[in-house]
Amino acid sequence: MKKGHDIDLSPYQVRTDLALESHLMAVEQQGNIISGVEVDEQQLEGIHITKLYISTDEGARTLNKRKGNYLTFEAPGLKNHDSALQDEMTNVFAKEFKQYLQQLQIADNAKVLVIGLGNWNVTPDAVGPMVVENLLITRHLFELMPDQVEEGFRPVSALAPGVLGITGIETSEIVQGVVERSCPDLVIAIDALASRSLERVNSTIQVADTGIAPGSGIGNKRKALDKETLGVPVIAIGVPTVVDAVSITSDTIDYILKYMGNQMDIRNPFGKPSKNPKHREKFLGLIGTLEEREKRQLIHEVLAPLGHNLIVTPKEVDTFIEDMANIIASGLNMALHHAVNDGNIESYTH
C-alpha cells in the first residue's frame, strides 16, 4: 500500500479511504442527516452508485475527508469474475465518469495526464500501474503528427512513477516535475485504497475531485497531489484492495451482535437490531459497552505486538486486481476518447 499508510497507522483512526464508509460510520453514530454532506444513491442491476457531496468544512471534519464530489461504484458480483458484469461496470463507469468530467467543466479536448500510483511489485498496490499499462496513449501523436490524429481523441499521457522505496524520490516531486514539463489540463491519479470492510475490497471504485492527500489528517501538504500543488485539477480514482485485521475483527464483533440480536429477536422500537447497551453487554460483556473508537483502539493494542503485517488482501488478489484495472482502463479509454466505445474498445485496450 501507499507508504504513507504504512507509517501513519494512527491508533484511533478507523482505517478507510472510502468517503462512503466514513459516511456510513457517521450515520451510525449521528443518524441519517450529516450536516454538510449530501448523498444520492442509485441501484442499477448489480451495481450500486453513490454520489456523495461534502460541501462544508464541518462535513469534511465529520467524515474526516476533504470537501468535494465523491462518486462510488459498488458491484460485489465482480468477485465472481463475471465477464458480463465486468462489461456492464465498464460501461457504467465510462458513462458516469464522462458526466463527472462535464459537471466539473473539464473541456472535451482537455489534455489529460493519468498517474498510476503504487508499487508494481506488490500485487494489491499495483492497480494504478496496471491501469496505466492499458490506457490508450495519444499525447505524442498530437505532438508529433497532429494532422494525422482522427476526430474523437484527445491528448492523453500517463506515468507510473513508482513508490518512494523504489525511486528514492517523493511521488509528488516526480509528478510535479512531469506536470510542469508536459502541461496537462487535468491529472487523473489512480491508486489502491484501504477499506474497512472485506466486502468492498476489489469490488468498489471511488472517484473524487479532491486530489490525493496521503496522511491528510496530519497535514503533510508537501506530499499531496492536488490542484494546489500541481496547478491543475486532480481527480482521484481509487480501488480498495486491502483491509486491516483490526477492521475485520471489529466489524465481525458488530456483526455478531446484530446476528445474535436477530436470532433472539431483540430489536429497538424502530424494528432495527437493538443498540441498547444492556443488550450489547449481555452478548459481548465489557467489549459490548465500548464505543466504536474504543473498541478499535483495544483491538489495535491487542494485535500490535503480533507484528505490523496486519494489512491483508483476499487470496485471489491477482485476478481481482487485474479485473479492476481492466475495468478502469477500458472505462477511461471510453470516457476520455469519444471515438472509443463499447463496440471497439477491444481494439484499443491491451
Q: Is 166 in the site for a second copy (CB under 8 A)?
A: yes
Burial 127-163 (b: 16+ CB within 10 A, else e): bbbbbbebbbebbeebeeeeeeeeeebbbbbbbbbbb
Q: Is 341 in the site for a second copy (CB under 8 A)?
A: no
3-state secondary structure 239-308: EEEEEEHHHHHHHHHHHHHHHHHHHCCCECCCCCECCCHHHHHHHHHHHHCCCHHHHHHHHHHHHHHHCC
* Residue 84, SS3 per DSSP: helix
User: Between residues 140 and 338, which has the closer beta carbon with respect to a second copy?
Assistant: 140
Burial 321-350 (b: 16+ CB within 10 A, else e): bbbbbbbbbbbbbbbbbeebeeeebeebbe
Q: Is 281 in the site for a second copy (CB under 8 A)?
A: yes
CB of 102 to a second copy, least distance (A): 23
CB of 21 to a second copy, least distance (A): 15
Residues of this chain, 317-336, that bind a second copy according to CB under 8 A = 317-319
Q: Is 222 in the site for a second copy (CB under 8 A)?
A: no
Interface pick for a second copy out of 177, 228, 268, 277 (rule CB under 8 A): 177
Interface pick for a second copy out of 26, 178, 193, 212 (rule CB under 8 A): 178
Interface mask (CB under 8 A) for a second copy, residues 62-91, using x and -? --------------x--x---xx-------
Q: Is 229 in the site for a second copy (CB under 8 A)?
A: no
Q: Is 315 in the site for a second copy (CB under 8 A)?
A: yes
Q: Is 339 in the site for a second copy (CB under 8 A)?
A: no
Instruction: Give the whole-angstrom CA distance, residue 40 versus residue 19.
Output: 13
Q: Is 94 in the site for a second copy (CB under 8 A)?
A: no
* Secondary element (H or E) of residue 234: strand 234-244
User: Between residues 62 and 244, which has the closer beta carbon with respect to a second copy?
Assistant: 244
Q: Is 59 in the site for a second copy (CB under 8 A)?
A: no
